[in-house]
Structures are given as structure tokens and as C-alpha cells.
Chain A
Amino acid sequence: EIVLTQSPDFQSVTPKERVTISCRASQNIGNNLHWYQQKPGQSPQLLIKFASQSFSGVPSRFSGSGSGTDFTLIINGLETEDAATYYCHQTTGLRQTFGGGTKVEIK
């Protein structure tokens, strides 16, 4: 099983600040890494596919980078509506896995 380790677990951030979330895979997964945002009481929503491709309708302040085992989600200029938990997700091989999540709180 491919394990995804996210860091940090929690981040408290002031609006307009830059947020960086890391996701490390236990083995090479190429670019088969996707990012989701989940707000309380809601289903997850896709932000970034294949490590760096923005999904349709997602604000441009969200971006992704990385390949192989190290990946990063960046929120450039945090807005209050971005308070949520963020998950990375890999789809290499037969069994998918998710990272443990990073909760972003607005200060």
C-alpha cells in the first residue's frame, strides 16, 4: 500500500497569507496525485489533478507542484472561505489512498 503523509496536520493562518501543504508518498507515484478541499459537513471537492493541473472553476490562488514522492499544495493569498481540511489522494496501482489531511483555520 502506498502511504501518503501530509504536513502539517493543522495550520492557523491570517487572511492574505500564503499557505503551503506538503504530501509525501512512500514510493514513486509519478504525477498521480490529486488535491481536495473539504469544508465541514460537505463532500470533498477537487482542486488540483495530476499534481499541478487546476480543476475547472477552482480559483487561481490554488496551485500544485511536485512529482515522484514529494508534492505541494499552495494557496496564494488565503481567503476566509478557504477554511477547510485539505487532502492529497493517489491513484497509482490497484488501491487508492488518501493523506491524513491538513486542517486550515483562519486566525
Chain B
Amino acid sequence: EMQLSESGGALVQPGGSLRLSCATSGFPFSSYAMSWVRQAPGKGLEWVSSISGPGTTTYYVDSVEGRFTISRDNYRNTLFLQMNSLRAEDTAVYYCGKLYSGSYFDSWGQGSLVTVSS
């Protein structure tokens, strides 16, 4: 059974930094692209970033480009999101998702809440 579990969410001040982790099991992690998707309170889903299976290619939504960095450790089967220069509008539940053939999400984590507030 595929499992994804996020951690690292917290309350952080504007301008601060945070690193999210997504531990996975039950599938060959290095063979699949992975993504982060966020959901602000009471709002819809927003794709944030994706990374290829080997970790050589990354993509970001414009609003986080230059502030967030996605990475992965294929030995530890773990996905990361380093978030710097955080803003109030980054407040959201952050989900990690497994992309099947780079297309649809066939598995999601339970989410990790990031709150940016003074």
C-alpha cells in the first residue's frame, strides 16, 4: 500500500523559513515525479511545485519561484519543500502527491499546516 506522510508544518513569522518533508513507502519512489499542492483556508487546490524522479528537473508556480525549493532524497524515499521569505499568503495546508506517469495524482498525503503570521 502506498503511503505518503507530510511533516514540518508550523506557525512562522513573515519573512521566516520552514522545511516540509514527505516520507513515502509502498512504491519505487525514485521512479515517480512528485509534487507539492497547497490549499489556503476555505479555498481551492493550488499546484506549487513538481520534481522529476531523478530530481534533475523542477517546476514552480510563479508566486513561489525564487523563494521555495523542491528536492528529494531517493535513498530515504523522502520529498522536501524548503520555503524561504514566507508571506501571509503562503498560509495553507501543504499536500505532497505522487504523480503517475507525470500526469494524475494517484496518492496524496494527509497534509501539513503552515501558518505565516506575526
Contacts and interface: CB of A to CB of B under 8 A. Distances in A.
A89 B44 contact: no
A36 B47 CA distance: 14
B103 A50 contact: yes
B24 to A, nearest CB: 14
A1 B102 CA distance: 17
B75 interface: no
Interface string B92-118: 000100011011111011110000000
B105 A44 contact: yes
Interface in A13-49: 32, 34, 36, 38, 43-46, 49
Q: A43, A49, A50 — which one has the most chain B CB atoms within 10 A of its CB?
A: A43
B61 interface: yes
A44 B110 CA distance: 9
A46 B100 CA distance: 11
A43 B22 CA distance: 14
Contact of A44 (B46, B62, B103, B108): B108
Interface string A41-71: 0011110011000010000000000000000
Nearest to A56: B106
B88 to A, nearest CB: 21
23 contacts: A1-B62, A34-B103, A34-B105, A36-B45, A36-B105, A38-B45, A44-B95, A44-B105, A46-B105, A46-B106, A49-B103, A50-B104, A89-B105, A91-B104, A95-B47, A95-B61, A96-B35, A96-B47, A98-B37, A98-B44, A98-B45, A100-B44, A101-B45
Interface of B: 35, 37, 44-47, 50, 59, 61-62, 95, 99-100, 102-106, 108-111
Interface of A: 1, 32, 34, 36, 38, 43-46, 49-50, 55, 85, 87, 89, 91, 94-101
